[in-house]
Amino acid sequence: MTVGRLLLICRLVLRDLRRHPGQVVMFVVAVTAATTALALGLATTSAVDTAYAKTREATAGPDVTATTTDPDPSGLAERLTQAPGVVAHAGPYFAFDTTIRAHGRTAHSAVEGRDRAPSAVDQPLVTSGTWVRPGGAVVERGFAQAIGVRVGERVTIGGRSVPVVGIAISAATSVYPWGDPAQGPGPSDFGGMVWLTTADARAAAGDTPGVHLIQLKLADPAASGRFTDSVSTTDVTGDAWVNYLTWQDILRTDANMIRFTRPTLVIGGWLLAVAAMVTLAALAAVRATRDNRRAGLLKAIGAGPGTVAAVLLAQYLLLTVLATALGLAAGTLTAPELADPSAGLLNTVSPPSSGTVTAALFLAVVVTLTSTLGPALRTVRAGTVHALANPAHLLTHHPRLNAVTAYLPTSLLLGARLVARRPGRAVLASAGAAATTLMVTAVLTFHAELDAAPAYKRFGPIEVRTDQTGQVLLAVTLALVALSTLNTVLLGWSTAVQARRTLTISRTLGATPGQVVTALCAAQLLAAVPGVAAGIPAGVGLYWLFGTQVTPPGSWLLTAALVILLAVGALTALPAWAHTRSSAGRVLDAEPV
């Protein structure tokens, strides 16, 4: 392609973008919403890995933590620190399991005694205040956020009121609420971590039995599993026991906090892609008349099919690249916050991986080409005279449909024939309704599961995890509802514009404006009903793949279905009513479309 043609294409594309900023914004918002959700879902797992790695590096996190109930752990500590592969160690540190009180609330916690001097292994990073000092406590950041304490406030430990002198994070334990390493064997309660000086910790423990923590740094961190297997037979005297925790175990536990968040975002991204396809297809329908005329003018001055196709598709591809970049940026910036729901890790923004970039770009290109390639090719194939004249579309006769609808009320008859005239648009409307209904059903199933869960399953990590999952589900659903609202208005408007001659002729034959409005609403509802009917079982079934087999009450599902259909009808009525405000004579005298 010559430089002159490239310059012509660029000028035409930029001119069109400047003249129709509203359509540009809708296009970018639709594609960005889909790519953001998908990029965020793909980036969360790597964000957990990155955040934990940064936290380990900043806090000299241990590769292996040995926990023992032996009152005299010196012998075990000596054997472990002299084991092959150990390059640094810290401890033994005394710790005990207790319940602390803050702001009238009680919470399970481990209390660990530490020295004031920095440690070579596992030195928690103070994010606010100072490190431990006599008479002062340092609270792990996620735990502090959960119980609502800040530096300068007080907590009660072992019956003693202690001021909080610092907030810190550590990679030696999992994030809250799995941050209590001082519990004995058997089922563990959920809790956080508090650090005191060694003397204060022993005083607060009183007669409470405790454990000792030995932190180890290995020459090969990846070999921590083999190391624990080689030392797990170490003898411990009496009834004492020893347990080993590797950094890989901690990372897996941290990643478990977003176990349901990632699939929610990935699936939500694809559902938003469906809604974005409907948006782009509706925009293409609105632009059809203008694109046809532009194609005719370009052909009249000698432009070939390739140039015409490039002019029509270039702006879509340009906006697709922009929307993909925005979606990747939004997902990359949000992923660290989403990957750490309990604020126990260092949140750092990392560039998206090549896989995330490829998936987001693939999704955006598929959405764009699926929605715009067909209309663009039809415009290119149209003859020059035909495109310039832009004659009215010939109606396709459906004898069986005519026989079936002949005795229907006028509004339903017109609505059914509008659907039959453009079945592709009906499929788009049905797909959009199905995507929205699916997510709404998933939200209802999520809340039904919470209501059905026993009370003891609503606290601790399950509470933190379900809160985040619920927020993500709600956010994706609201984005999908917003796109679906826009799609319904656009589809209703494009249907009213492209069918205005047909409906105007119906008005001249006796149809009232109210019947015309009802016909347009019926056309949208006839397309939406199958989508709603398919979306409800699909939403329940999809949720079952990631949750428990809980079904929302039938009244919830019926109410949701009726609300969605009522919203479709109401949103379609707005452009339909605007269409009926023009007189029949003015519409028939206007240029046919």
At 304-359, the pLDDT tens digits run 666 666 777 777 778 888 888 888 888 878 777 776 666 778 776 667 777 778 88
For residues 384 and 208, the model is more confident at 208
Is the pLDDT at 585 greater than 60? The verdict is: no
Q: Render pLDDT for 102-117 as a digit per residue (tens, 0 to 9).
A: 888 888 888 999 988 8
CA 103 to chain centre: 34
Q: Where are the alpha helices (DSSP H) in 20-166?
A: 21-59, 74-81, 141-147
Confidence of residue 378 (pLDDT cuts 50, 70, 90): low
Q: Render pLDDT for 571-583 as a digit per residue (tens, 0 to 9).
A: 888 777 776 666 5
Query: What confidence score (pLDDT) does residue 180 get?
Result: 63
Give the residue from 511, 508, 494, 509 showing the smallest Cα distance to 579.
Answer: 494
Confidence of residue 187 (pLDDT cuts 50, 70, 90): very low
**Averaging pLDDT over each range in 11-15, 62-66, 541-545, which range is the top one?**
62-66
Query: What confidence score (pLDDT) does residue 166 get?
Result: 92
Backbone dihedral angles phi then psi of residue 87, each to the nearest 5 degrees: -110, -15
The encoded tokens of residue 309 equal: 């196709």
For residues 523 and 458, the model is more confident at 523
**Averaging pLDDT over each range in 147-156, 408-417, 471-480, which range is the top one?**
147-156
Between strands 211-218 and 160-169, the pairing is: unpaired
Q: Are 181 and 170 in contact (CB under 8 A)?
A: no
For residues 7 and 294, the model is more confident at 7
Q: E strands, 387-431, where?
A: none
Mean pLDDT for 438-451 is 81
Mean pLDDT for 238-261 is 78
By mean pLDDT, which of 153-157, 423-427, 513-517, 581-585 is the weakest?
Answer: 581-585
Query: What confidence score (pLDDT) does residue 458 get?
Result: 42
Give the residue from 272, 205, 216 showing the smallest Cα distance to 431.
Answer: 272
* Domain parsing of the chain, residue ranges: 1-58+255-391, 70-240, 393-593
Is the pLDDT at 383 greater than 50? The verdict is: yes
Backbone dihedral angles phi then psi of residue 577, each to the nearest 5 degrees: -65, -40
Confidence of residue 287 (pLDDT cuts 50, 70, 90): low
Query: What confidence score (pLDDT) does residue 168 get?
Result: 92
SS3 content of the chain, % helix, strand, coil (to 5): 65, 15, 25
User: Rg (Cα) of the chain, in Å, rounded?
Assistant: 32
Is the pLDDT at 489 greater than 90? The verdict is: no
Mean pLDDT for 173-182 is 73
Backbone dihedral angles phi then psi of residue 132, each to the nearest 5 degrees: -60, 145
Mean pLDDT for 424-449 is 83
Mean pLDDT for 457-486 is 70
Residues 6+ apart with CB under 8 A from 344: 140, 141, 142, 143, 169, 174, 175, 176, 179, 254
Amino acid at 320: T
Q: Render pLDDT for 532-573 as a digit per residue (tens, 0 to 9).
A: 999 888 888 877 776 667 788 888 889 989 999 998 888 888
For residues 228 and 370, the model is more confident at 228
Residue 106: is it exposed, middle or buried by C-beta count within 10 angstroms (0-12/13-18/19+)? exposed
177 cis-preceded (ω within 30 degrees of 0): yes
For residues 285 and 225, the model is more confident at 225
Is the pLDDT at 186 greater than 60? The verdict is: no
Q: What percent of the chain has pLDDT over 90?
A: 5
Mean pLDDT for 180-191 is 58
pLDDT mean across residues, the chain: 77
Is the pLDDT at 138 greater than 50? The verdict is: yes
Query: What confidence score (pLDDT) does residue 164 get?
Result: 92
